[in-house]
A and B are shown apart, each in its own frame.
Chain A
């Protein structure tokens, strides 16, 4: 186990409230975003986060140290949120997600001399730096993210919003590296299309 995780676990075990408060603060946003991927409302997502912390505290002595503490905690959030979603009947088994990243109609047909090349190329896209945080663009991003299928959204949230590496993302979500990259690519392509339309 990483040295800092050893310290965190022993501080929590001896009831150090400041450590607990700091972890709730540091990981709470990520936990909340991850829970929101699976459940219907932010209120339920907050409940999932609270429930996850209680599970963490109760199982602290069973933390197996195969992953980092953060990975383990986030994995618990994902499991609980998926269970909630099943209870809410929102997560009927999804059809396998095999659509191409970009709408095939945007490419020239097989009969064309330039088959497979752009028919409707990406629209040039001036995104001035100072527009990065413009609230309209932010709304476009949030709507695009919310409309992604859960598997794609979970990967995008961890990789591109929370800045996690591929390895930890795979561990938290129980994905193979290849699958993780496929999901990430689909998710990014859809967000790119949403910005292009905006």
Chain B
């Protein structure tokens, strides 16, 4: 983005930088341009907010767990392995 440092970000550019921004990986200059754009642009504020909400709801997707059959098969395999290993 160096060649564009002299002008404001476009919305199309900002949306590509949202994860870098959230992860704190933008340079100081780019962060200033990013936040300056946000101050002016309600749509991009909405976009950033929705990306943050997306991350939040993804964290609520319930955990997976192995089936009981798979778990029992694994414990049986472990017993077999440890007996042969320790024999």
- Cβ B64 vs Cβ A121 within 8 A: no
A110 CB → nearest B CB, Å: 10
- Cβ B75 vs Cβ A17 within 8 A: yes
User: Chain A 152-192, CB within 8 Å of chain B: the 1/0 string?
Assistant: 00001000110100100000000000000100110011011
B80 CB → nearest A CB, Å: 10
Residue in B closest to A117 when the chains form the complex, CB atoms? B11
Residue in A closest to B42 when the chains form the complex, CB atoms? A121
Chain B interface main SS type: helix
- 24 pairs, CB–CB < 8 Å, chain A vs chain B: A13-B85, A15-B85, A17-B82, A21-B75, A25-B71, A30-B64, A31-B66, A36-B64, A50-B73, A102-B12, A117-B11, A117-B41, A121-B46, A124-B46, A125-B46, A132-B56, A141-B58, A161-B58, A166-B23, A181-B23, A184-B19, A188-B54, A191-B54, A192-B54
Interface membership of A137, Cβ < 8 A: yes
Residue in A closest to B56 when the chains form the complex, CB atoms? A132
- Cβ B57 vs Cβ A127 within 8 A: yes
Chain A interface main SS type: helix
User: Chain B 1-15, CB within 8 Å of chain A: the 1/0 string?
Assistant: 000000000111101
Q: Choose from B15, B20, B62 the contact partner of A181 (Cβ within 8 Å).
A: B20
Q: Choose from B18, B57, B78, B85 the contact partner of A195 (Cβ within 8 Å).
A: B57
A188 CB → nearest B CB, Å: 6
Given known A-B contacts A116-B12, A122-B43, A28 and B66 have beta carbons under 8 A apart: yes
Other CB < 8 Å A-B pairs besides A107-B11, A192-B51, 9 of them? A28-B65, A49-B66, A50-B73, A50-B74, A53-B77, A101-B18, A118-B43, A141-B57, A161-B59
Interface membership of B55, Cβ < 8 A: yes
Given known A-B contacts A121-B46, A122-B43, A115 and B10 have beta carbons under 8 A apart: yes
